[in-house]
Amino acid sequence: MNYGLHTPALPKLGRLRKHHLDILADHDDLEEDLIETRIGVHDSNHFEVKLDYAIRSQDKSQYTVDYYFFVPSSLGINKHTYRDEQFFSDMQAYIRFKTPSRSLISLIGELSPIDTIRELATRVRDNQSDPDALQRLSYELRMFGCVVRADVRDRVRSLRDKLGELVGDNAKNEVLRTDAANICNQLVKEIVACIGKWRHLRTDFVDGRLPQSCNETYAYVDEYLSLVVEMRMAAMLRRIDRVEGGLGEELRQARQRAKDLLLSEREYRAGANYSTVTNEHEDDHFVYRQGLLKKFVTSILWLDLSREKEGKSVANIGAAIAAGLAMLFALLATVWASKKYGLNSWNFIAAGVVTYVLKDRIKDWGKNYLGAGFARFLADYSILIRDPIRDTVIGRCRESFSFRDAKDIPEEILSYRRKDAKASIESMAKPEVIMHYSKQVNLRGKDVIERMHLEDYNVNDIVRISLAQFLVRADDPTASIPYFVEQTDSVEPRNFRKVYHLNLIMHLQMKGKKRSRLKRVRVIFDKKAILQLQEVR
């Protein structure tokens, strides 16, 4: 089975609780802009923007995303206290292929990737010096883990949304309750079937006839899949237990099946002597191991980024031009002085000294002038996007950051910022500093499509932004204010939360598309942590 990603050619074989804002375009807009957006809290200090770029042709695709951060000036963030280098240090960028969308049923049907893995294992067993087969086997094992993880995650989210409908007047809606129970039962049934067929491979990898690296890869993916199932079932059980109006017999039975699956996976890992068996004395090891497994399995989707300062060669050219102009001035001045004063005179010597001083100044002035002129057309960083599997460059990214005055911000951005203001003078009461981060991503469609197949021509661009420098400058999270209590006819101190609002407006555009899109999110935080994200329409 083809997951959607290209692998090295081989002869044919058989086939802190996070929360997110899903800010998706309508279908028509998506077809035009070809960009999807999701924003979420990553941890207490970081929030994350994930953009999905869809590649629809073999030509170059160019996406431009402008981030406008409206920061309360009371935090003391400005161009003197928050340098460009600090921003890029606080911002982490990742680019990866989007996990292909495949159902659990398709993974165990005809042309199953499990059959492909078994045939590759046989090929490696017969010829352990075949590097292509070894690489392909490792790839297929890890891709299977990625696809199962993604489908289980998405279906559990969908079930949790369905369970979320059982509130208020719908709390005892038997139709919705039955729907949720059936969805839960079907998901558990498919997981058991898929994982069961996957574990039929285990004998091939523990009999000692394959290279140790192959055995370890299977074990890592197997342990990770077991952990994914347990964690997702736990999330589902927690959501079922919050259903209002009682579970009812069908939903209670569905819960029991999910619980049985969870416990069986925990017992399986213990029996297989895997490390991710919960132990109250090894909580730190559990989290470490979980992260290690996730990185190993999903690493086949990640692209390498090579960042360097842009304009080094241009700066050298500017310096060379300035040096040439300075030298030209020096030679002309020397020729003029020799004719006017003669070579053996004090006047000629004085003219030579003045010429030398001016030559040096002309060189520096020229470098500064030309550098400033060229800088207008340069980004801060240029990033090569490389596919480590095929060892090819599939695109380039350019990044720049600056503080901007309101008068230099496009009017549509300012209007979008002010659209929910209750008064026209509100901006005067809460002055803000504007930071602008611009990112231009160029992807070579041909290279992306050669790596991928079918409709899965999507690339995830992930930007994770730290607010640690903002939090440290904030006031205490609570403020004590005298408050008159009418019932007791007295004034009592009351603690009120002290929060800050950072407004982020994103301008998304694809080259060749007439329309662009604006997205706005309000990040609410205090001195301790990011508290909430709110979409502002």
DSSP codes of every residue in 140-158: HHHHHHHHHHHHHHHHHHH
Decide if 194 contacts 149 (C-beta within 8 A): no
Q: Write out the E strands in 296-380.
A: 304-309
Nearest to 125 by CA among 35, 245, 211, 231: 211
Region label for 305, one of left (φ > 0), alpha (ψ between -120 and 50) or beta (otherwise): beta
Angle CA(371)–CA(374)–CA(378) in degrees, nearest 5? 115
Q: Does residue 195 lie in a domain region?
A: yes
Provide the angle, in degrees to the nearest 10, between the axes of the packed helices 174-199 and 248-271. Answer: 20
Nearest-angstrom CA–CA distance, 240 and 161: 11
**491 torsion bin: left (phi>0), alpha (psi -120 to 50), beta (else):** beta
Tokens of 500: 């800050």
Q: Which of 250, 275, 302 is the last residue of a domain?
A: 302
For residue 427, the enclosing domain spans 20-98+379-535
Note whether residue 3 is domain-resident: no
Domain assignment present for 94: yes
Same domain, 242 and 325: no
d(CA 413, CA 51): 20
Q: What is the mean pLDDT, run by run of 10 residues, along the chain of 537 residues?
A: 45 41 39 64 88 75 89 90 90 86 85 88 88 89 93 92 80 83 93 94 89 93 94 92 80 93 93 76 74 91 81 58 72 75 72 72 62 56 84 86 90 86 58 91 75 63 90 86 86 87 90 78 91 86
pLDDT at 487: 86
- For residue 23, what pLDDT is reported? 39
Among residues 326, 353, 375, the one where a domain terminates is: 375
| Bridging pattern class, strands 91-97 and 60-72 | unpaired
Render the burial of 366-382: b for 16+ CB within 10 Å, e for the rest.
bbeebbeeeeeebbbbb
CA distance 453 to 15: 14
Question: Is residue 293 located within the same domain as residue 317?
Answer: no
Of 388, 512, 457, 513, the closest CA to residue 53 belongs to: 457
Number of domains in the chain: 3
Residues 52 and 75 in one domain: yes
Q: Judging by beta carbons within 10 Å of its beta carbon (0-12, 13-18, 19+), is residue 194 exposed, middle or buried?
A: buried
68/170 same-domain check:
no
Task: Tell me how far apart the alpha carbons of residues 58 and 180 are, in angstroms, rounded to a whole number.
Answer: 42
Q: How far is CA 500 from CA 366, 426, 503, in A?
A: 45, 15, 10
